[in-house]
Chains A and B, each alone.
Chain A
Amino acid sequence: MKKARWLAVVVVGLVAAAAVATVAGCGSSSSSSSSSPSAAASLTPTQSFTKILGHAPTGEAATIASRGQIVVVDDADYPPQSYIDKNGNLIGFDVDTAKEVGVVLGIPVKIVTANWDSIPTGLNVDRFDVSIGSMTITKDREKVLSFSAPYYYTQAQTIVKQGSPTLTSLKSMKGKAIGVGTQTTYFYYLTAAKGINVKSYDTDAHTFPDLKNGRLNGVVTADLTAAQAISSGYPFVFSGTAFYYEPLAFATKKGESDWQSLLSYAVTTMHSNGSLTTMAKKWYHGFDPTQTPKAGIPTYDQAMASLGK
């Protein structure tokens, strides 16, 4: 008799603990940074969107406005575009850009982090509203995602360890172990060029320890990311000229025309009022990668076409 009651108490206790803990857990699980807009503070997000669009927002734009928050996704490990500071806050050029988008559109921004390869899926199932995370516009990605106008440009740069043989062309990479971030354009490009031992990692930054160890002969990543690795102490050198340049843009799911025109408006505004340039100069040693690169280097799509893809 006594034991049966005891068992019942245990079961009820477990269920109650679970219920309480779930409520507590939901309350404390939002652990991301948000910024409130300083400009257009007097307008509600819906009013602000309506003013920019010239009509009431529809579709996802309406959902975002009524929610009162944009959910922006970033890779959490991509210095200096998005990474954490001493206190664990997300910082970087992409993070600054995302916050500025919130200011331009007059709506708070919540930044969440996700694995790079899961971002397209997350965008398509509405986990995130937009990726402000240095995503290259490519023909293949345009089949599943929509892109804004480019907000800055990077180049596909090879780096090698100091003192090891340089890798200047795809031919010189034949049979060599080359590290790339998975599902990056570098990954697609090197895989398309046959004969290279392509090793893919969660994110570009995770290739660097292995390049230093000697497990990799080279790494292909964005020039800005490579330069950051060098300036934070890795013994690497740029090797050869860039393969191609990449126009990087905000990505959303397809078919949300209002939301896309709002983002295009944000990109255009940030280009024309110089805020993108200011932010870029802060992160890239005074350089301004938001300018369209000079002619001479092919785009990613052209480089892929030259490989017959």
Chain B
Amino acid sequence: MKHRFVSIGVPLLAALLMVWALALAPAASAAGTPPKPVGSVPSSVGQSVSWGQGSVTVLYYAGTSPVVPAACELSINGDKVPVAQATDSSYANGRQLQFSFAADYQPPKGNLKLHAVLVTKSGEHVTYDWTYNNPGAAKPELLDWPTIRQFWWYIAKGGALTVELTVISICFAVVFALFGALGRLSRTMSFKEAWDKYRSWGFMALHTLRMIPYWIATFYTSLFRGTPLLLQIFVIYYAIPAIIDYMHARYSWFNIPYPSAFVSGCAALSLNYGAYLTEVFRAGIQAVPKGQTEAAWALGLSGGQTQRRIVLPQAFKIVIPAVGNDFIALIKDTSLVSTITVNELLHRAQLVGGRTLQFLSALLVAAAVYWILTIFFSFWQARLERRMEHDRARA
């Protein structure tokens, strides 16, 4: 009885073991998973902006066995595509297989049925099919009109900020320049001349005090004309918060908000242009004939009255062309403020360039807006100058 049980039981057990082994065997011998395609370029879905028509990429998750690029094939509408080179590389947490077309191959227009075969080292064939509506290769054009049509208004809107920056900066620059020029002209004589003339220590002390506006103005023009505008913008934007922090750390009552990028930009532009205009104003004031001052004195006007009523009005007329010139230059120099996050004209053009990769089109739109702005302001400058001529003739 016992013997019979063993003679049945052992073969049964052996058979069960074999079934179990057979069930496991395929998994063991096929060595894991095949590659799994998940997407492609070009594709009707996803982030593709346009298709360069020179290559097709299949995105896939790697299987156990690596893909052999040279063995892989691509066909469009059933025709095998001549592939100059297939490149397999890692991309994100998957891989991509890029088929570069032979130089003379041009994919057909219209609805394309794309079919890719990925061949692995272990001989698996994985196919991936998708469709793409090919608008056809764009004719080689210098300017990308769709980009211009789509973005010109966005870029042009930056012009408003450019004008704002320019007008505010020139206003402050003129004020700085006026005080700067008066400071620069306040020096009547050098120390040596003063000593030779009066030989009095009391007068020398007074003279030193009187020199202070001159020194300040000289230091100001020297500093702001002697360093690049871009550097001034960076220093004002990045250093002032550090200074405020330092002051706040030392004196807790010192708690003022950081200047915004816009304010920092305005400050840098007006200080820089103020320094240049200081010299312009100084030259303008000096260009008023000496006889005018002497005549004013002869009439009994005081020094201040002479400056306010005789010299400055005439100097103002002389400097109008130079100020207009600097105004035009300032319109263009506001573009430097794009480096400190101010979203003005050039900044917007660069953003559009980065997005559409059509730098020429985007930058040309910005150039056109700058040009229109300068033409507009030159026109008004010319009007003002003519008006001044008229005024002089009347006088």
A118 touches B100 (CB 8 A): no
Chain B residues, Cβ within 8 Å of A228: 47
Report if A171 contacts B (CB, 8 A).
no
Chain A 78-93 near chain B by CB (<8 Å), digits 1 or 0: 1110011111100000
Report if A149 contacts B (CB, 8 A).
no
Q: Which of B140-183 contact A (CB under 8 A)?
A: 150-151, 154, 161, 164-165, 167-168, 171-172, 174-175, 178
Chain A 226-238 near chain B by CB (<8 Å), digits 1 or 0: 0111111111011
Chain B residues, Cβ within 8 Å of A87: 154
Report if A69 contacts B (CB, 8 A).
no
A84 touches B266 (CB 8 A): no
Query: What is the CA–CA distance of A284 and B61 in the complex, to the nearest angstrom?
Result: 13
Report if B238 contacts A (CB, 8 A).
yes
Chain B residues, Cβ within 8 Å of A10: 316
Chain A 51-89 near chain B by CB (<8 Å), digits 1 or 0: 000000000000000000000000011111001111110
20 pairs across A/B with beta carbons < 8 Å? A3-B309, A4-B309, A8-B308, A18-B171, A22-B168, A84-B351, A84-B352, A86-B151, A118-B234, A127-B237, A163-B103, A209-B359, A223-B89, A223-B91, A227-B96, A230-B52, A230-B55, A231-B47, A237-B87, A241-B90
Q: How far is the CB of B393 from chain A (nearest CB, A)?
A: 15
Q: How far is the CB of B233 from chain A (nearest CB, A)?
A: 11
Report if A265 contacts B (CB, 8 A).
no
Query: What is the CA–CA distance of A45 and B234 in the complex, to the nearest angstrom?
Result: 32
Chain B 245-270 near chain A by CB (<8 Å), digits 1 or 0: 10000000000001011110010000
Report if A24 contacts B (CB, 8 A).
yes
Given contacts A22-B266, A209-B357, 7 further A-B contacts (CB under 8 A): A15-B171, A15-B175, A17-B171, A86-B150, A231-B49, A240-B89, A288-B92
Query: What is the CA–CA distance of A32 and B93 in the complex, to the nearest angstrom?
Result: 32
A287 touches B91 (CB 8 A): yes
Report if B355 contacts A (CB, 8 A).
yes
Query: What is the CA–CA distance of A227 and B98 in the complex, to the nearest angstrom?
Result: 10
Q: Which residue of B lies closest to A152 (CB)?
A: B92
Report if B54 contacts A (CB, 8 A).
yes
B48 touches A231 (CB 8 A): yes
Query: What is the CA–CA distance of A113 and B94 in the complex, to the nearest angstrom?
Result: 30
Chain B residues, Cβ within 8 Å of A269: none
Q: Chain B CB within 10 Å — which of A22, A80, A112, A155 has the most?
A: A22
Report if B116 contacts A (CB, 8 A).
no
Interface residues contributed by chain A, number (CB under 8 Å):
81
Query: What is the CA–CA distance of A238 and B69 in the complex, to the nearest angstrom?
Result: 13
B316 touches A31 (CB 8 A): no
B residues with CB within 8 A of A? 38-39, 41-43, 46-52, 54-55, 57, 59, 84-85, 87, 89-94, 96, 98, 100, 103, 150-151, 154, 161, 164-165, 167-168, 171-172, 174-175, 178, 234, 237-239, 241-242, 245, 258, 260-263, 266, 308-309, 312-313, 316, 339-343, 347-348, 350-355, 357, 359
B87 touches A238 (CB 8 A): yes
Chain A residues, Cβ within 8 Å of B48: 231-232
A residues with CB within 8 A of B? 1, 3-4, 6-8, 10-11, 14-15, 17-18, 21-22, 24-26, 28-32, 76-80, 83-88, 112-115, 118, 121-122, 125-127, 153, 155, 157, 162-163, 203, 205-206, 208-209, 223-224, 227-235, 237-242, 280, 283-289, 291, 293, 297
Query: What is the CA–CA distance of A240 and B88 in the complex, to the nearest angstrom?
Result: 9
Chain A residues, Cβ within 8 Å of B151: 86, 88
Query: What is the CA–CA distance of A289 and B91 in the complex, to the nearest angstrom?
Result: 9
Query: What is the CA–CA distance of A67 and B234 in the complex, to the nearest angstrom?
Result: 25
A7 touches B262 (CB 8 A): no
Q: Taking A4-B309, A127-B258 as contacts, is the C-beta distance between A235 and B59 under 8 angstroms?
A: no
Q: Which residue of A lies closest to B348 (CB)?
A: A88
